Amino acid sequence: MHVIDHSKGQPAEAESRNVLVESARIARGKITSLAKLTTADHDAVIFPGGFGAAKNLSTFAVDGKDCKVNREVERVLKDFHKAGKPIGLCCISPVLAAKVLSGAEVTVGHEEEEGGKWPYAGTAGAIKELGAKHCVKDVTEAHVDTKNKVVTTPAFMCETALHHIFDGIGAMVKNVLKLTGK
């Protein structure tokens, strides 16, 4: 959507970036287009969160509950769901499942700001408006929707120490792997 200069917390007006190029930079490895992702080649799928999920994988950052999900992201979520393969989502990305998978249970943490600890608590309301069930969880926890094989954790939806976020993401990954049955 736009590039943010995180040292200033403001958009960098004259800059643009490519999602695939940035993904390769961050992952430091071989990446491919999401269009090539199939359930036949993978046991599970995990979507990280962050502004990319709210601005590039969907229009949630601008449109809230009326958001649209990127066509390939929607396809992947529906394909893995239909195949009964686990889906992991953290931070803001559970809104993707809330929008695409009818009746999914997800968490983005708490439903009240609690003095600024949960600054994005309003997202829980949008999840409910999308027809999903929001489950309150602490940042170190993951919610497992066993029926839909969707595992979510709040991550950076909470203002806390990084090791707590790490613990929650670890719990999400551990539960996704457990649901693969391997």
DSSP 181: T
What is the chain's mean pLDDT, rounded? 93
How far apart are the C-alpha atoms of 117 and 5, rounded to whole Å?
Answer: 24
Catalytic residue among 67, 90, 91, 158: 91
Q: Kindly state whether residues 15 and 77 are assigned to the same domain.
A: no
Phi, psi for residue 124 in degrees, rounded to 5: -60, -40
The pLDDT, as a whole number, for residue 18 is 76
**What pLDDT score was predicted for residue 27?**
83
Do 74 and 57 belong to one domain? yes
Q: Are residues 4 and 24 in the same domain?
A: yes
Quickly list H helices, the chain. Answer: 19-27, 51-55, 60-63, 71-82, 94-100, 122-129, 162-180
Residue 91 annotated among the catalytic residues of the structure: yes
Task: Tell me the mean pLDDT in the region 172-182.
Answer: 96
Domain count across the chain: 2
> 50 and 27, same structural domain?
no
Q: Render pLDDT for 13-70 as a digit per residue (tens, 0 to 9).
A: 887 777 788 788 888 878 888 999 999 999 999 999 988 899 889 999 999 999 999 9
Based on the fold, state whether residues 105 and 47 are members of the same structural domain: yes
Query: For strand 150-153 and strand 105-106, is the pairing parallel, antiparallel, or unpaired?
Result: unpaired
Answer yes or no: is pLDDT of 5 > 80.
no
Are residues 3 and 43 both part of a single domain?
no
- What pTM, to 2 d.p., does this model score? 0.92
- Residues 59 and 119 occupy one common structural domain: yes
Q: Is the pLDDT of residue 8 over 90?
A: no
Strand ranges (E), 107-168: 133-134, 143-145, 150-153
CATH number at residue 106: 3.40.50.880
Q: pLDDT-based confidence at 1, cuts 50/70/90?
A: low
154/173 same-domain check: yes
18 shares its domain with 51? no
Q: Are residues 93 and 11 in the same domain?
A: no
pLDDT digits (tens, 9 = 90+) for 111-141: 999 999 999 999 999 999 999 999 999 999 9
Range of the domain at 137: 37-180
The answer, yes or no, to whether residue 2 has pLDDT greater than 90, is no
Does one domain contain both 2 and 82?
no
Query: In this structure, is the dihedral angle defined by the CA atoms of residues 65, 70, 171 and 79, taken in order, positive or negative?
Result: positive
The pLDDT tens digits of the residues spanning 16-32 come to: 777 788 788 888 878 88
